[in-house]
Amino acid sequence: MGEANSKGTVICISGMAGTGKSTLAKRLAQKYGLKYYSGGDALRELAAEKGFNSSSNGWWESPEGLSFLEQRKADASFDKAVDEKLLKLAKGGNVLLDSWTMPWLVKGGFKIWLAASAEKQAERIAKRDHMTVSESLQALKEKETRTKAIYKQLYGFTLGQDFTPFNLVLDTDNLSAEEVFQTLCTVIDNMVLAEIEKSKKTVSCQ
């Protein structure tokens, strides 16, 4: 199948750091002609406005990135501003949202969680950011602990443990990036686009 031309198409992709979700989400958005929006990118922009040097790879796991997480925990306005923006974009449809919160906040849509073990996450982050696996694992633990606290406090869900909103949870540990991409293309073709086409035919027959 080709582009997802239905205005109602909303896909949310989520997963902890090191699952490859952002790179994958961008590829899927391009393949299906969906507009791509990232909650993490929007938060980075807000951090930059506050004077943080947030443009580098691995910034979230750095001491500066962890400091910004503490600011977010103390001041919910950062996250609320980003989430309000993403919710408006979701209402317009034809979007793919790379976000930790949208699976819980958006009504409807197709929601995907990419899972990976802590060890695999650390290996991928270490390779990306040129650090040791032990350094990466420690940074990830600190980041995840603080991030989970933010969303628990703000919305009441436990990131990485509550999978209630998701239509699909995919374990990526033993899959290459290309295998994950092809798997999700198959899922989107058969579970998202096929349902949209079926709905269109039903409406046209009424």
3-class DSSP string for the chain: CCCCCCCCCEEEEEECCCCCHHHHHHHHHHHHCCEEEEHHHHHHHHHHHCCCCCCCCCHHHCHHHHHHHHHHHHCCHHHHHHHHHHHHHHHHCCEEEECCCHHHHCCCCEEEEEECCHHHHHHHHHHHHCCCHHHHHHHHHHHHHHHHHHHHHHHCCCCCCCCCCCCEEEECCCCCHHHHHHHHHHHHHHHHHHHHHHHHHHHHHC
Record the pTM. Answer: 0.87
Whether residue 182 lies inside any domain: the answer is yes
Q: What is the pLDDT of residue 79?
A: 95
Q: What is the pLDDT of residue 100?
A: 95
Over residues 162-171, the pLDDT tens digits come to 999 999 999 9
Whether residue 51 lies inside any domain: the answer is yes
How far apart CA 133 and CA 165 sit, in angstroms, is 31
Write out the two tokens for 132: 């040791």
- Is 163 in contact with 103 (CB distance < 8 Å)? no
Tally the domains of the chain: 1
Q: What is the pLDDT of residue 130?
A: 87
Query: Quick check: 201 pLDDT over 70?
Result: no
Over residues 86-101, the pLDDT tens digits come to 999 999 999 999 999 9
Query: Quick check: 5 pLDDT over 50?
Result: no
Q: What is the pLDDT of residue 200?
A: 55
What mean pLDDT comes out for the span 17-42? 95
How far apart CA 12 and CA 188 sit, in angstroms, is 12
Nearest of 152, 185, 184 to residue 168 by alpha carbon: 184
Whether residue 126 lies inside any domain: the answer is yes
Domain with 110 in it: 10-205
Q: What is the pLDDT of residue 2?
A: 46
Q: What is the pLDDT of residue 64?
A: 92
The CB-side HSE value for 36 (13 A sphere, CA atoms) comes to 18
Whether residue 42 lies inside any domain: the answer is yes
Residue 25 contacts by C-beta under 8 Å, 6 or more apart in sequence? 13, 36, 38, 96, 98
What mean pLDDT comes out for the span 109-115? 96
Query: Quick check: 189 pLDDT over 90?
Result: yes
Q: What is the pLDDT of residue 197?
A: 62
Whether residue 113 lies inside any domain: the answer is yes
Domain at 46, CATH number:
3.40.50.300
Whether residue 2 lies inside any domain: the answer is no
Whether residue 3 lies inside any domain: the answer is no
Q: What is the pLDDT of residue 138?
A: 92
Nearest of 114, 115, 86, 91 to residue 102 by alpha carbon: 86
Residue % of the chain over a pLDDT of 90: 77
Q: What is the pLDDT of residue 56?
A: 85
Whether residue 1 lies inside any domain: the answer is no
- Is 70 in contact with 144 (CB distance < 8 Å)? no
Task: Label residue 24 by pLDDT band (50, 70, 90).
Answer: very high
